[in-house]
Amino acid sequence: MSEQDIFSNLTQEEREIIVNKGTEAPFSGEYNDHFDAGIFICRACKSPLYESNTKFNSGCGWPSFDDEIEGSISRHEDLSGGRVRTEICCKKCGGHLGHVFHGEQITEKNTRHCVNSLSIQFKKYDNLSIAYFGAGCFWSVEKIFRDTKGVYMCQSGYMGGDTKNPNYREVCTGKTNHAEVVEIYFDDKDVSYDSLLQIFWDNHNPTSLNRQGLDLGTQYRSVIYYTSIFQKDSANSSLIVAQKNWDRLIVTQIEKSTVFYRAEEYHQNYLNKNNLGTCSL
């Protein structure tokens, strides 16, 4: 396919970015706050560029990734605007994506691909299932599940409360009624939901009401948010089995999942980013 064919179906706005190396306004792109599981491809030639598990919220106003699919990106010196920057382009078609920056210490990889939404398209992974668990501070819970084989992506956040778009400070007051939870995208061919439930039971105290260790408050409650009747039945069955391991009554709540609100970026992958290892739940 010729370059003319590759770019022929672009809108005027897309062409301005991809061909003419323009930049969309910050916080205006459809993918700036997009954190579903899937793959981002070049809008022009449809070549895979980024896995969604490398995307993070840098606060810059453009989609940010800390890694690329191997061999998908080319780099070029950019001296425009009186600055020295590194431009990134789709290696297959040469379409402009944005710029890459290093040394900002936002993620473990210390890299930020700053990409225009108009340069990319998202393709959802249909083979993945979603699970939600709350088992105390989400820092430790996220690390445990993130390190589990078959888990594609794990994010910390809030669920089950009464307010929209809560932040950490609000949740910590206990007034929003949100729980600290992790959102898990997993491939059930590699890890079953029952296996995730077992990890959940094995890594916290489900008999401690609104408390795990020194963390006290309703946001630290033990809770399973199910996304289907299958998950609901599995959770209830697993609770009966787990109860045999405890003298005290399990207080874990089993409720239908509601809106998941992704937590602030500094909470994501917190223990790994800060070299803290696994802390006790």
Distance in angstroms (rounded) separating the CA atoms of residues 128 and 111: 27
Show the tokens assigned to 63.
């989609």
Q: Is the Cβ–Cβ distance between 17 and 96 less than 8 Å? A: yes
Catalytic residue among 42, 45, 93, 137: 137
Q: Tell how strand 120-124 and strand 111-115 pair up.
A: unpaired
DSSP β-bridge partners for residue 154:
184
Distance in angstroms (rounded) separating the CA atoms of residues 259 and 102: 34
Cβ of 80: how many Cβ atoms within 10 Å? 9
Residue among 102, 65, 87, 91 at smallest CA distance from 20 = 87
Number of H helices, E strands in the chain: 7, 17
Q: Give the position of tokens 């205006």.
A: 28
Q: Give the position of tokens 């009401």.
A: 209
Q: Is the Cβ–Cβ distance between 55 and 65 less than 8 Å? A: yes
Indicate if 114 belongs to the active site.
yes
Distance in angstroms (rounded) separating the CA atoms of residues 114 and 100: 6
DSSP β-bridge partners for residue 254:
224
Show the tokens assigned to 33.
């706050």
Catalytic residue among 42, 93, 114, 154: 114
Q: Is the Cβ–Cβ distance between 170 and 218 less than 8 Å? A: no
91 phi, psi to nearest 5 deg: -70, -30
Q: Among all residues, which ones are annotated catalytic? A: 114, 137
